[in-house]
Amino acid sequence: VLSHNLYTVLCIPHDPVALEEHFRDDDDGPVSSQGYMPYLNKYILDKVEEGAFVKENFDELCWTLTAKKNYKPDRNGNSVVSHQDAFKLWCLFNFLSEDKYPLVMVPDEVEYLLKKICTAMNVELNCCELDDYLSQEPQGQEELTVWQFLDMVNSGRFLQGIEQEAISMAVEEVYQEVIEDVLKQARSPHVLGHEPCPAPNPVLISISRVQGYLWKRGQLRRNWSERWFMLKPSVLSYYMSEERKEKKGSIALDKHCCVEVLPDRDGKRCMFCVKTSSRTYEMSASDTRQRQEWMLAIQTAIRLQAEGKKSLHKDLKQKRREQREQRDQRKAAKEEEMQRLKQLQEEKERKLQELELLKEAQRQAEILLQEEEQRRRQQHEEMQRTLEIQLQEAEQARASMQAEMVLKEAEAERQRKRILELEAMQERLQEALQQEVKARQDEEAVRYAQARLLAEEEEKLKQLMKLKEEQEEYIIKTQREKQVLKQEMENKNKYLEEAQKQLEEVRVNRQRVDQDVMAAQRKLRQASTNVKHWNVQMNRLMHPIGPGDKRTNVSGGVFAGYQPLLSQRDSSLK
């Protein structure tokens, strides 16, 4: 039964003969996990193709096989999560667990998952409570199995006072984000009746929420319609409503796509567009923050496509694992460093004892040195007093020389300032002269330009008068042509009325002719009746009268003479 169900959900052709052949030599007792694994690997798992089966169906089968024996909810129906939510938590646990058997989740991943669920409900996780719970586990067993994790959630220590419906909605949101790789949603800040959290980091928004309503502009009719959008790493799908029963379309995302802000128009604001290689999709958000969140999320999806990553959370999980490994390495290095420091401390204490012995000998030597040092200090103080007197005399001489230098430098500075003022005055005079020359040149140029403009103005005035005369002549000519056309229209209307009258006469004549034709047809039918009557009479007269040869010949000759006359009569009647 297990193999049959695995064949079904993994979309592999059933092979019951292989099962019988594999277990032919071991058909007496129950099969252990170790005995079933070779068959599972060879005949089932090796035949699985990527993307050929529905992952959710496979998860449901595994959950059905394991939950009945291991999952123990409250029998009175007071469990914090429903059976379906427990299945989704089981899927999330499998995704975030370590890559080893049996599957376990480290405390960091447990805290990460609980924080995401609490964030979806706009509540804050009590990390101290989580640390206390994990500390109650046996020493060295801080990692949790999936059943321990579900028991911890159902204990109510972390989700106390929250309705089951709110927990179910939060678990569904995290499940869609992590398992189904949906990247963007729009939520009300007062969802589930809790107060809104502080404004989150925009980068975290783009990867933590999955779907929402946006206004989209059509391609053909160019009208605006509200659609429910769902963002995944490779596609942005939109539906008629949030139930996702009627899919209206999808936008394939690749590394060539881009997102741009559009100016407000057509009564829509907070607009942006998604440009693909084949089309540009225009959309409108409810406010600027929602537009920024959607743009960041779509850019994240495009970046994932450019980097060749199929799942964002697999990448994040790998990064968290690398961070934990680096942290463990730092912790091991720190412990090693502490051990080394402890050894150094012992070595230091041993050397300190040796140093105490040396200090005692050093104190004896220092007493002798102090006496010698005192004698040398007295000699040094006498020498220092002599040098200080000489130094004071040298300082006085130096001060007098510096005063003289300051006076000379002040005089030189005054001379330099006077020279600079004269040079500046000469430059200003030269500039004034150049400006005057330039002003005269500009005045002459302006006069010449003014004369030229006056001449051009006179010429244009003449052209304007000429154009005005031509325009008046054209207006008179147009009025004349208009009168001629009006007269022609009146004549054509008269001709049309006469033609209509003639048409009426033709119709009357046609009716009269039709009546004559009908009368002629009646006469023709009457004549045809008469012809048939005369033919009957003539046929009677054509029979010979006997007996006797002569009378016969005479009769034949007489009727033979009538025959051409009859033929001529028939021709004339026809």
Could you read off the pLDDT of 148-183 as tens digits, one per residue? 888 888 877 777 678 878 888 888 888 887 777 676
Query: Token pair of 279, please?
Result: 């089309």
Tell me which of 37-41, 198-202, 389-393, 457-461 is least confident. 198-202
Q: What is the DSSP code (8-state) at residue 184?
A: B
Instruction: List the Cα angle 418/420/421 in 5-degree steps.
Output: 65
Report the distance separating Cα 235 and Cα 54, nearest Å.
Answer: 18
Q: Does 196 sit behind a cis peptide bond, omega within 30 degrees of 0 on the bond before it?
A: no
Helix (H, G, I), strand (E, B), or coil: what is residue 360?
A: helix
Report the distance separating Cα 500 and Cα 374, nearest Å.
Answer: 153
Tell me which of 87-101, 249-263, 285-299 is least confident. 87-101
Residue 196 has pLDDT above 60, yes or no: no
Instruction: List the Cα angle 510/515/519 in 5-degree steps.
Output: 145
Whether the CB-CB separation of 209 and 271 falls below 8 Å is answered with no
Report the distance separating Cα 542 and Cα 562, nearest Å.
Answer: 9
Query: What are the beta bridge partners of residue 211?
Result: 230
- Give the type of residue at 566: L
pTM of the model: 0.48
How confident is the model at residue 26, as a pLDDT?
66
Q: What is the DSSP code (8-state) at residue 62?
A: H
Percent of residues, the chain, with pLDDT higher than 90: 4
For the beta carbon of residue 210, count every other beta carbon within 10 angstroms: 24
Which residue in this structure is represented by tokens 């510096």? 402
Residue 193 has pLDDT above 60, yes or no: no
Residue 108 has pLDDT above 60, yes or no: yes
Region 4-17: mean pLDDT is: 87
